[in-house]
Structure 1
Amino acid sequence: MNSETDVIIVLGTRPEIIKLSPVIQACERREIDYSIIHTGQHYSDSLDSVFFEQLELPTPEHHLGVGSGTHGEQTADMLVGVEQIICEEEPEVVLVQGDTNSVLAGALATSKLDIKLGHVEAGLRSFDREMPEETNRVVTDHVADYLFAPTEKSKESLLEEGISEAQITVTGNTVVDALYRNRELAEQKSTVLDDLGLVEGEFFLMTAHRAENVDDEERFDNLLAGVSNAAKQYGSEVVYPIHPRAESSLGEFDITVPDNIRLVEPQDYLDFLRLESAAKLILTDSGGVQEEACVVGVPCVTMRDSTERPETVTVGANRLSGVDPENIMTSVISMLEANETWENPFGDGSAGQRILDEVVQTGQKVNL
């Protein structure tokens, strides 16, 4: 494959936009012919467009506008659209990132054609098959030609499943590339702390959107109670940029949000990055936020029973609490009282370049 070869990049959610931005920017620098398929898996076109603008990315050539639906409906609609575009453009490689339905659709469509598939962030495992994301990432890994593992741990998981070492490249995680590039920009440009009346280091930041948490009334209620109690222990307000799914559940279940949890609108990338960097503690059920907290050096509590980012726990940046209020309290105290620093396990910020080195084979492949 040479530098003239077409690359198609499939994405559909805001975390994918962020994590694939270093790959897109590397394509631009190296003048590689590429195009972007946006499935539209996230519902807010306006917020998506802000992400592209802030990250200085070109407008996607293709937008499927799939939106919400059941897993089957979403994946089927995306599969049809992605396959049609791939057949028209005939690239030599398609790149997908992560574990969403957009990733699964891109992987399945590509794997049935004579086109190479690259999986960015390969080898992540929660070992919880009740998570639809686990199915998506496992299937994608096993049909991919190039597996870009962010860490040695994820490489080990792939090898244990019988995937050839020749297909695996440890690249680091592109989230580090994005954070290194944009953290300073967020400090300079974002006014979110002033807008929300927040003082750096004196508030908790929370995200909760996973179906197993917010679609279950008892779990969601317990989660909110646990976070509220832990924040009271430290006299801190909780800022919660609320996901549409979670907001809908609050209304459906008629849940009263505790007074010290402030609901705010979903934030654009630079504002959310500023909130992450300025928080005293982050509570989340998001995989990507676990990584980002680890990289920016803010203690994290993950309100889940498992994580596909075990490196964050190993280095001391993160602790699993589930949604039991007492466990949330214990985990928050543990993270804040430890007062530790840790080494970022996700690479040096050159993952996007390493990925292109492998698929385009121009220049020497760089090792971590």
Structure 2
Amino acid sequence: MKIVTIIGARPQFIKAAAISNAILTHNQNNPLEAINEVIIHTGQHFDPNMSTVFFDEMKIPKPDYLLNINSLGHGAMTGRMLEEVEKILINEEPDYVLVYGDTNSTLAGALAASKLHIKVAHVEAGLRSFNMKMPEEINRILTDRISTLLFCPSETAVKNLQKEGFDNFKSKVLNVGDVMYDTTLHFSKMAKEPTFELPENFILATVHRAENTDDINNLKEIFSAFNTIVTEIPVVLPIHPRTKNILEKNNVEISDRVQLVPPVGYLEMLYLLNHCQLVMTDSGGLQKEAYFSKKYCITLREETEWVELVDNGVNQLVGASESKIIKAFNEAKQLKPNFENHFYGDGKASSLIISHIIKYL
């Protein structure tokens, strides 16, 4: 069997590490039924600190194809990826194309495969923010509809697909749990202290979503809140290159106690998660990683795909409002959230995914 894996962004590298490891384990145990994995890296995240370091740290097999498609608008980027991925799929003739999450790389890979009548397996299927202004929402909805196997990370994701009528489609909807939980369990003991100096107590923050970075008022509100919060506790913020450029271009005021650091690798991020007081982010993946690390999360968005975390009091949505961010920070000091629920499986999602792919070949 041959699987073509398509990845292009940081969260996908983390998920791919779990699946590649499951494929390796399968091949060791079943040498006569080995799976040949061919990896396409679209280049959507091209900064070494957001790409190469993940392959090195997490022992992900080096990409067989590196497309270097980045820094373009959504249409141009998706179109270029679609064109180049299609050429590779025609040459490789895989049994399955495996895509992750909700990026332009995800949609391009799924479209290329479906038009060539190649089966598509979508890891992290069924997530919905119900905000059609988000490019990610469009990507995930379209990818789900043209996928053969829909690997859901939670029961909520399964229910979303059922409400959309997927019980009437030929695709298989399967709740396997979250591969990012697999990865966290596997790598947690390998967490690596960053080379930069850390405060003893700090908040871990990230800001990169288009709805915040493309709206300068949102960005100013968020950093104004950070400037207030750092009078009590420092904020450590691994800065996305695009966010950094926008902040500099617009002369956004940033306190010197907001510690802007370069993007970090996965093992360093695990260390930051393990040692921070709480997390503030507009990232989808980091919300879950905060939960896996048993840290309260203040989400700088109006909605989230991970509704279980909000409903169970370990995550709060505040948008980009300075007053709401500060209010949530003050409230978090008194909270004692429960992290003992298992919303996302038992850490065996990746092996289940490989078993289902073999079963439904």
SS in 2 for 1:148: strand
Tell me which residue corresponds to 1:270: 267
Tell me which residue corresponds to 1:365: none
Shift of 1:115: 1.0
User: Is there any run of 5+ residues in structure 1 with no aligned partner, and where?
Assistant: 363-368
Tell me which residue corresponds to 2:350: 352
Deviations 1:2-53 (A, max 9, x none): xxx1011100011100012111111111121111000000121464222111
Residues 8 and 95, structure 1, Cα contact 8 Å, conserved in 2: yes
Tell me which residue corresponds to 2:247: 250
Shift of 1:97: 0.5
Deviations 1:118-166 (A, max 9, x none): 1000000000000000000000000101000000100000010011276
SS in 2 for 1:164: helix
Amino acid at match of 1:191: E
Q: Which moved more, 1:150-159 or 1:270-279?
A: 270-279
Kindly tell me the number of residue pairs found equivalent between the two proteins.
Answer: 350
Shift of 1:269: 1.1
SS in 1 for 2:319: coil
Tell me which residue corresponds to 1:191: 193
* Cα distance in 2, alignment partners of residues 274 and 41 from structure 1: 25
Tell me which residue corresponds to 2:283: 286
Residues 230 and 328, structure 1, Cα contact 8 Å, conserved in 2: no
| Match status 1:17 vs 2:18 | no
1:159 to 138, 158, 162: 162
Residues 44 and 70, structure 2, Cα contact 8 Å, conserved in 1: yes
* Cα distance in 2, alignment partners of residues 127 and 335 from structure 1: 26
Tell me which residue corresponds to 1:328: 325
Tell me which residue corresponds to 2:294: 297
1:131 to 131, 134, 137: 134
Residues 69 and 77, structure 2, Cα contact 8 Å, conserved in 1: yes
SS in 2 for 1:346: coil
Residues 127 and 157, structure 2, Cα contact 8 Å, conserved in 1: yes
* Cα distance in 1, alignment partners of residues 9 and 264 from structure 2: 14
Amino acid at match of 2:159: E
SS in 2 for 1:168: strand
Tell me which residue corresponds to 1:118: 121
* Cα distance in 2, alignment partners of residues 93 and 315 from structure 1: 36
Q: Which moved more, 1:331-340 or 1:149-158?
A: 331-340
Deviations 1:221-258 (A, max 9, x none): 101111332343xx210001110111111111111212
State, as a whole percentage, how many aligned pairs show the same letter: 37
CA RMSD of aligned residues (A): 1.4
Residues 223 and 325, structure 1, Cα contact 8 Å, conserved in 2: yes
Residues 199 and 234, structure 2, Cα contact 8 Å, conserved in 1: no
User: Is there any run of 5+ residues in structure 2 with no aligned partner, and where?
Assistant: 28-34
* Cα distance in 1, alignment partners of residues 12 and 343 from structure 2: 20
Q: Which moved more, 1:123-132 or 1:271-280?
A: 271-280
Deviations 1:74-97 (A, max 9, x none): 101110111111111111111101
1:309 to 306, 310, 313: 306
Deviations 1:149-193 (A, max 9, x none): 00010000001001127610101110000100111111xxx222x
Tell me which residue corresponds to 2:31: none
Residues 282 and 300, structure 1, Cα contact 8 Å, conserved in 2: yes
Using the size of structure 2 for normalisation, the TM-score is: 0.94
Tell me which residue corresponds to 1:214: 213
2:182 to 156, 177, 181: 177
Amino acid at match of 1:168: V
Using the size of structure 1 for normalisation, the TM-score is: 0.92
